[in-house]
């Protein structure tokens, strides 16, 4: 065996082992391990970009094989749909010169369609109503939350108010679950690419230069999707309303990135101190209304073009 091939195999094993550790932490410790699950695609992406496609694919294959041998059949499938596809397709499109935004969009689109196909296939094969299964899972979680808060000594009125609110939230989550899944995939992909770019200077100097977030701008035609979805919410049809809600969540998330890009331009223009920027990021993590405000701001940037000079649409 030649030395280069041996090094490729060693790196593939390293990538597979790191991915396996991260993913097992995620499935073993659902809350604490959430961060590990978010970066589970990272080793495969890193070794794909550093050593080539074969190494990245082997890292994913090793992780999948070990999870499969461990016995639980749903876990390796979950890995592929949540991390494996991202680990292969993100570096593939990026090395094809698609840029950061398009690489994420193409990868997430393929990943999402694969999830839909697998879910529909499973529902047909098992003869189950996936919507009913989802509702049962959400209702079970809300019942547990209500039971936990019920032991905290809340008054009956407060407990009833909390129960009503969390059940309404659960019903909304069930309606917009496809959009939530798509947003989660975009978030995972964006986080992993951000980490890769932080490693670029020292460990991955030969990969293409990333797009700058401050230049991000959604296609102008996307605003018509927002308008159409908004008016569709007025149609007295549950199915149409549900599709419109999902479209609004997805497009709103896209405009959130555009609004964030505009804010970053302002930060650079007026030299906002690091402490103030840190406070802003903390508020962004814990204040959902700020996220909504940025999405609205990004939407109005379509007409206002708050950044100068005018940038080219992606």
pLDDT tens digit sequence for 104-136: 999 999 999 999 998 888 788 877 767 777 777
Same domain assignment for residues 201 and 228: no
Q: Are residues 22 and 157 in the same domain?
A: yes
The C-alpha atoms of residue 85 and residue 178 are separated, in whole angstroms, by 18
Rounded Cα distance between 314 and 311, Å, is 9
Q: Are residues 169 and 219 in the same domain?
A: no
248 shares a domain with 190: no
Predicted pLDDT at 94: 95
pLDDT for 6:
82
- Looking at the structure, tell me whether residues 122 and 261 fall in a common domain: no
- In order of 32, 58, 106, 149, the CA distances from 36 in angstroms are 8, 20, 24, 28
Distance (Å) of CA 188 to CA 34, 117, 229, 262, 303: 11, 21, 26, 22, 30
Distance CA 32, CA 18 (A): 17
Domain interval for residue 289: 212-314
User: 178 with 194, same domain?
Assistant: yes
Same domain, 83 and 228: no
Q: Can you give the pLDDT at residue 157? A: 75
Model confidence, pTM:
0.87
> What was the pLDDT predicted at 109?
95
19 sits in which H/E element: helix 3-28
Number of domains in the chain: 2
Listed residues 139, 173, 207: the one ending a domain: 207
Residues in the chain: 314
Residues 230 and 187 in one domain: no
Place of tokens 């308008």: 227
Residues 162 and 226 in one domain: no
CA–CA distance, 150 with 145 (Å, rounded to integer): 8
Cβ atoms 44, 5 nearer than 8 A = no
Give the per-residue pLDDT at 153: 66
My answer on whether 136 and 245 are in the same domain is no
Residue position matching structure tokens 């200077």: 201
The residue ranges of the chain whose pLDDT is under 50 are 1-3
Pair (180, 245) in one structural domain: no
């Amino acid at each position: 065996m030649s030395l280069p091939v041996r090094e490729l195999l060693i790196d593939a094993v390293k990538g597979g082992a790191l991915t396996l550790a991260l993913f097992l932490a995620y499935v073993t410790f659902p809350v604490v391990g959430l961060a590990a699950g978010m970066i589970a695609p990272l080793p495969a992406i890193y070794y794909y970009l550093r050593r080539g496609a074969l190494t990245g694919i082997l890292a994913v294959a090793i992780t999948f094989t070990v999870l499969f041998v461990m016995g639980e059949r749903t876990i390796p499938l979950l890995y592929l749909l949540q991390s494996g596809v991202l680990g292969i397709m993100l570096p593939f499109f990026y090395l094809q010169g698609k840029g950061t935004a398009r690489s994420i969009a193409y990868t997430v689109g393929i990943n999402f369609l694969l999830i839909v196909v697998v879910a529909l296939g499973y529902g047909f094969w098992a003869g189950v109503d996936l919507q009913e299964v989802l509702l049962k899972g959400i209702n079970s979680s809300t019942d547990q939350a209500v039971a936990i808060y019920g032991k905290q000594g809340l008054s009956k009125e407060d407990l009833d108010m909390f129960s009503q609110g969390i059940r309404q939230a659960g019903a909304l989550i069930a309606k917009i679950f496809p959009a939530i899944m798509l947003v989660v995939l975009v978030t995972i992909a964006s986080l992993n690419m951000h980490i890769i770019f932080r490693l670029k200077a020292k460990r991955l100097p030969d990969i293409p230069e990333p797009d700058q977030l401050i230049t991000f701008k959604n296609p102008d035609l996307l605003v018509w999707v927002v308008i159409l979805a908004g008016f569709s919410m007025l149609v007295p049809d549950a199915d149409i309303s549900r599709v419109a809600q999902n479209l609004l969540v997805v497009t709103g998330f896209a405009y959130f990135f555009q609004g964030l890009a505009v804010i970053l331009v302002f930060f650079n223009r007026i030299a906002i101190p690091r402490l103030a920027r840190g406070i802003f990021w903390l508020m962004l993590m814990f204040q959902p209304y700020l996220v909504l405000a940025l999405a609205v701001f990004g939407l109005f940037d379509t007409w206002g073009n708050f950044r100068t000079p005018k940038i080219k649409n992606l």
